[in-house]
Amino acid sequence: MLAVVTGASGHLGMNLVNALLAGNWQVRTVIHVNSKHLKNLDVEMVHGDTLNPMLLEKAFKGADVVFNLAAKVSVVGWNRPEVEALNIKGPENVIAACKKCNVGRLIHASSFHACTQSPHTQPLDEARSLVKDKNAIPYDYSKACGETLVRRARAEGMDAVVLSPTGIIGPNDYEPSHFGAILVALGRGSMPVIVDAGLDWVDARDVAQGLIKAAEIEKPSEKYMLSGEWVSLKDIAKQISQITGNRAPFFTSPMWLAKVGSPFSEIYSRASGGRALFTGISLKALESNHSVSHARAAAELGYNPRPLGETIKDTIEWFNNNGYLSYNHRRK
């Protein structure tokens, strides 16, 4: 079985490629920026992105399954055109190339943030409506548009499945991802303040297995939520401090105060070339629905996410082993 993975060098992509190889799949990857972490793996590499239709036709030739993971994740608002181009035009091009190449099945990675989060008093599941407001957070709106295109293609006869994970963390996070960068800062003991908020977190390895299972079963549903467990940032920081021996944040900021300070943090980070971890958009993301149901995925895909404590431990150990942080054994 030949699987083509777009966005293969990203966090989820690396975990998916490893899982596919472990399952004896033949893997072809579409790489946009950084391929160095794939060079030692038994994969074919095609260099380019999903905005290039001709490249996609070349990459998808002979594919049994295409896993479309390519996306632009952003926690700032100034790059909306880039976010919307990759997250909307990209899936449109992927769908067209799948049709032209007679791909067996398209597996599209969306996000639970593509869904309207309210009402927060009710669990969020596959029936929840998608974001339609063009003025919404660029990532949320664009992912909702991309998902709509895939679901429309399915309604027109394409074998396509949408899977929507929650906040992804886990090993093999080379960039690292936005949430990975927060974990690294916590692991180094360099984050003095944390926000009084949390998220439904899920292990990238479990999401990868969910994607593969959706590709393998005979008659998958249109969409699956792949959630994990809601845990506060404060509790995650405490777990990480216990693992590393480095200091946990000494102050937990209420959300209103964090929102007041976020514009200044964004301005400073953009001017200095640094990376803003807590922006107005990232804070909004932390106000998402606390209860995301993966009941359908559990029933149909056998999806069973591991405990978050295991994910935190494995992730921090991976960051330590790969030089992103170091433990302070003297404080243990």
Looking at the DSSP bridge assignments, the partners of residue 94 are none
Per-residue pLDDT at 271 = 58
Query: Does 80 fall in a domain?
Result: yes
Count up the domains in the chain and report the number. Answer: 1
pLDDT at residue 34 tops 70: yes
Return the pLDDT at 45: 95
150 within domain boundaries: yes
Gyration radius from the chain CA atoms:
19
pLDDT 10s digits, 294-319: 999 999 999 999 999 999 999 999 99
Q: Residue-wise over 125-161: b if at least 16 C-beta within 10 A, else e?
A: bbebebbeeeebbbbbbbbbbbbbbbbebbeeebebb
Is residue 264 in some structural domain?
no
In a domain, 261, yes or no: no
- Is 248 a domain residue? no
Residue 3 backbone dihedrals phi, psi, to 5 degrees: -110, 135
Q: Give the mean model confidence (pLDDT) for residues 256-261.
A: 88
User: Span 74-84, mean pLDDT?
Assistant: 87
Rounded to 5 degrees, φ, ψ at 252 are: -105, 110
Per-residue DSSP letters for 162-205? EEEE-EEE-S---S--HHHHHHHHHHHT---EEES-EEEEEEHH
DSSP 28: E
What CATH number has the domain bearing residue 21? 3.40.50.720
Instruction: Please tell me which residue, 77 or 100, carries the higher pLDDT value.
Output: 100
pLDDT for the residue numbered 205 = 98
In a domain, 23, yes or no: yes
168, pLDDT greater than 60: yes
Q: Residue 213 is part of which domain span?
A: 2-172+200-229+290-305
Domain assignment present for residue 220? The answer is yes
Hey, CA dihedral for 143, 148, 151, 153, is it positive or negative?
negative
**Residue 157 per-residue DSSP state:** T
Residue 285 lies in a domain: no
Give the number of other Cβ atoms within 10 Å of residue 82's Cβ.
13
In terms of Cα–Cα distance, which of 124, 131, 126, 163 is closest to 292?
Answer: 124
| pLDDT at 85 > cutoff 50 | yes
What's the confidence (pLDDT) of residue 199? Answer: 97
Per-residue confidence band for 332, with pLDDT thresholds at 50, 70 and 90: very low
Mean pLDDT value across the chain: 94
